[in-house]
Chain A
Amino acid sequence: MAKFGTRIVEDIKGREPVEELVINGFGAFEILENELIGSTYINEMDSMKAYIQHLANGGNAGRRLKLIKGGRSGLTEYEFIGSHLRVYGIQQPGKKLIIFGGKKKKADSSDNIADFQNLLEQYQKSL
């Protein structure tokens, strides 16, 4: 069983704090960044952080943000859409929590969404 925790994402400073899920000592962003080392997508992480910060500041993120429908968590679930990357998070009272990040899948990002919802379920059970 994985150990879960949360910590503030220091790179993102918005009106609303943004936290990331820590799984066995590794943050969600850290895991994604490690996955992207050596690839051309690593620079896109900065854009993803800009989108999340923009939303945390109460901005209109347009098509860079999608609300995921049909989740079983009972929480507002977000998908941040980059050109090649996806970052998933939830809204908690007064803060946003980033749960999972991954690369865009060829057909759609349903696999990513399934992984995200699975991880969220595990996290909720651990509370």
Chain B
Amino acid sequence: MNKREKLLRSKTYLVSQIQLGLLNLIGNYKDKKKLKDYQLANELGVSKGYVSQILNATYDHKISKVVELSLACNAVPITFFVPLEEYVQYDQEDKIYQIFPVIRPRLVDFEAKIEVSTEVKKSVNIFKGSDSVRISAQTYQFSLV
């Protein structure tokens, strides 16, 4: 295990990353609005000590508070859980995770067309896919009596 891999698996490092993410959000909000600590505390509805913890990146509290603070800064926290091995592998290839919106996949858009025929065996096409794009097609053999 190399040094970088060891760092990526470290709890302290991962906690710091989340704390720094929140610090980035709140810090930039504070700078943008040119607020003082107590003004920011009033705006977010928390104590001065709480703001201090965030700006010092020592914040380690409830998830509900993170959501509340993010919403107060007009942001939405999105959490992903990715397999550790994959994360380490991508990092070695200098690949990073970025969020980009995609069209929400629907459950199953099932469509079957069966031609009524007297023949014993018929080929039926079944398509599975999302709203507009049909992503896979499989052919099954049906026996019609």
Contacts and interface: CB of A to CB of B under 8 A. Distances in A.
Interface of A: 10-11, 13, 43-44, 46-47, 49-51, 54, 59-64, 83
* Of B10, B16, B91, most A-chain CB atoms within 10 Å: B16
B49 to A, nearest CB: 14
B33 to A, nearest CB: 14
B141 interface: no
Contacts of B12: 43-44, 46-47, 50
Closest 6 CB pairs of A and B: A50-B16, A46-B13, A46-B12, A60-B27, A46-B10, A47-B16
17 contacts: A10-B3, A11-B4, A13-B4, A46-B7, A46-B13, A47-B13, A49-B7, A50-B16, A51-B20, A60-B23, A60-B27, A60-B28, A60-B31, A62-B27, A62-B55, A63-B57, A64-B23
A50 B2 contact: no
A50 B56 contact: no
Contacts of B15: 47
Interface of B: 2-4, 6-7, 10, 12-13, 15-17, 20, 23-24, 27-28, 31, 55-58, 91, 94
Nearest to A50: B16
A103 to B, nearest CB: 17
Nearest to A55: B20
Contacts of B57: 51, 62-64
Contacts of B10: 43, 46
Contacts of B94: 13
Nearest to B17: A50
Contacts of B6: 11
Contacts of B27: 60, 62
Contacts of B28: 60
Contacts of B13: 46-47, 49-50
A49 B6 CA distance: 12
Contacts of B58: 83
A40 to B, nearest CB: 12
Nearest to B54: A62
